Structure 1
Amino acid sequence: MTQGVVVGIDGTKQAEAAAAWAADEAVLRGTGLRLVHAREPWPESDEPWAEQLLARTADGLRARHPGLSVTVGLIPSGPVPGLVAAAEEGTLLVLGSRALGSVAGYLMGSVGLSVAGVVERPVVLVRDHGDVSPRGSVTVGVDAQQPEDAALQFAFEEAERRLGSVHVVYAQQLPSYGTLGPAMVSDVRLAVAPEIERSLDDLLEPWRTKHPDVTATARVTIGSAGLELVRASGDSALMVVGRRTRRSVLGARLGSVAHAVLHHSRAPVAVVPHD
């Protein structure tokens, strides 16, 4: 088995949920699992505690998944550089994300945001919502005008592993000028949706051919892409969003849609880099 799935743990409930999700994913992929803890690089950081955490978590996952290859690694270079480096050891990095309550909304934290914004592998962020079923549908957000194959490929492959379906969501932003009432919104929807849905069907046809066991549906919504994807996440086992790898003058970063989904989606979120 290869070390296909890497998961970062730090002793929190969110990290425990991420480790459980990552183990299920490794089983679905038929690969091994690597647990890593990236500790702060100063002498007073608790290395024995970290080693015990890794060993205890690994033993629990092996008991839950007999036959699963689980290895561990303690990285002393700090959370962000350590997790970025650890991601190169596998094909998928899994991290936990924390909740701040219903008023403040969800916030991954600076480490998760920083890592997801630079890693050149797909990154999945998992919250502690109890046991998350590895089965079910996969929702992916696309831009019908500039579709990216990487996110669609990831979504179809994940749906196939889960014996689930793919739901493609495209959000059509309304014109910024003028004030549109409910009747006008309906008129705009009727005008733009059929043409875009045909484009989405054309876009999905080769993926349906490549993955004949996966049912794929496409839906056009009117409004903010981030908000519409967050709404769709409630019925999904996994949400997939893309991230451009081209760097701006500010360096690598996540786009506004990915930010919105990561902060508010209840489903695990996969951030898939693409050119």
Structure 2
Amino acid sequence: MSRNVTAGLDGTPESLAAADWAAREALLRDLPLRLVHAWKWQPYTYAPLGGAALPAQGEDPERAWGERVLREAGTTLTRRHDGLRISTSEVAEEAVPALLAAAEQGDVLVLGSRGLGGVTGFLLGSVALAVVARADRPVVLVRAGESAESEHLPDATGTASTTTPYRDVVLGLDLKSPDDGMIEFAFDAAVRRSAALRVIHSWTLPPYYYGYGGALDPEFDAQVAAVAKRRLAGTLQPWREKFPGVRVTELAVTGGAGTRLVEASRDAALVVVGRKSRRGLVGSHIGPVTHGVLHHASAPVAVVPHD
């Protein structure tokens, strides 16, 4: 396997933002960037429309358009990012299997996600959801409008900048099944950005733990919180030792995990979540927390599959 960062490109604003994010990630990892466009040949009947030029006889317009998208994106990214190594691939296949195959050939796959803005979050396309649910390697989803400045803190005047420190990398960690690959991905992302790592573990208690009026016994609440904090600290201690340069903030809090991570995404460079690699009768599943984060997070989201 040749190591690279791969971006799926279809010419939409979100895929172009994803390609630019992937270019920056490739430079951080000192890896080449691979741009992939998938197309599936179908017969068409063509007629002039508004005086538009018709493709040459025998030429597939979808393929010609894909070639143009790859060429123009490659030119733009090369001009924008000094030292970036780029290769392009056209695949005569449906998008989902083509992108899953591309993911297997690289370190991370980056895809665009259609952001609706405000509290409505992301409207993920079926392709992105299908790839996230089935990929065996990390997949990062990036919304349209994401830029290099979005990953950094504003400067002293409040102006967007790329010369200021990176915002935090945020990791959502389930202590019932903490996965080493997912934790390492988050620490590695923080190291490459010289960023702090914010690790969030949250929990909710069943209704029967609450007394009359819906109030939780403060003493019991404190005991549960103390246990969670100890477990979180113990889980992260080996990783603190492995990555001593990373400043880690541990947060063990009550509340829905998805809601907490969406809140944290508002001032994050990247949010890292997991997905269990299990297959049901109707295929793979993303899980409710990761699904919620993908739909509502403000920052790019990395989904790391694990057993």
Q: Is residue 281 of structure 2 the alignment partner of residue 249 of structure 1?
A: yes
3-state secondary structure, aligned to 1:46: helix
The CA RMSD measured in Å over matched residues stands at: 1.9
Inter-CA distance 103–243: structure 2 relative to 1 (3 Å threshold): closer
Q: Percent identity?
A: 45
Bigger Rg, which one: 2
Inter-CA distance 39–176: structure 2 relative to 1 (3 Å threshold): farther
Alignment counterpart, residue 69 of structure 2, candidates 53, 67, 87: 53
Q: TM-score normalised to the size of structure 2?
A: 0.84
Cα displacement string for residues 252-271 of structure 1 (whole angstroms, at most 9, x for unaligned residues): 11111110000000010000
Q: CA deviation at 1:174?
A: 2.2
3-state secondary structure, aligned to 2:140: strand
Q: Is residue 202 of structure 2 the alignment partner of residue 171 of structure 1?
A: yes
Q: CA deviation at 1:136?
A: 2.7
* Structure 1 stretch displaced more, 204-213 or 171-180: 171-180
Q: Is residue 99 of structure 2 the alignment partner of residue 67 of structure 1?
A: no
Q: CA deviation at 1:188?
A: 5.1
Give the corresponding residue for 1:41. 41
3-state secondary structure, aligned to 1:212: coil
Q: Is residue 164 of structure 2 the alignment partner of residue 133 of structure 1?
A: no
* Structure 1 stretch displaced more, 142-151 or 39-48: 39-48
Which runs of structure 2 are paired with 1:83-98 in the superposition (5 Å)?
Answer: 83-98=99-114
Give the corresponding residue for 1:153. 184
Letter paired with 1:155: A
Give the corresponding residue for 1:144. 175
Inter-CA distance 248–47: structure 2 relative to 1 (3 Å threshold): same
Q: CA deviation at 1:129?
A: 3.0
Inter-CA distance 181–25: structure 2 relative to 1 (3 Å threshold): farther
Give the corresponding residue for 2:12. 12
Letter paired with 2:151: S
Cα displacement string for residues 57-103 of structure 1 (whole angstroms, at most 9, x for unaligned residues): 00111111222110001111111111111112211000000023446
Inter-CA distance 229–52: structure 2 relative to 1 (3 Å threshold): same
- Count of aligned pairs: 274
Inter-CA distance 11–194: structure 2 relative to 1 (3 Å threshold): same
Inter-CA distance 149–249: structure 2 relative to 1 (3 Å threshold): same
Inter-CA distance 170–163: structure 2 relative to 1 (3 Å threshold): same
Give the corresponding residue for 1:190. 222
Letter paired with 1:175: P
Distance 2:182 2:192 in 1: 16
Letter paired with 2:203: Q
What 5-or-longer segments of structure 2 have no aligned partner? Answer: 45-60, 153-165
Determine if contact 1:189/1:222 at 8 Å carries over to the other structure: no
Give the corresponding residue for 1:238. 270
Distance 2:296 2:77 in 1: 28
Letter paired with 1:119: A
Q: TM-score normalised to the size of structure 1?
A: 0.93
Distance 1:202 1:162 in 2: 25
3-state secondary structure, aligned to 1:94: strand
Letter paired with 1:22: A
* Structure 1 stretch displaced more, 107-116 or 2-11: 2-11
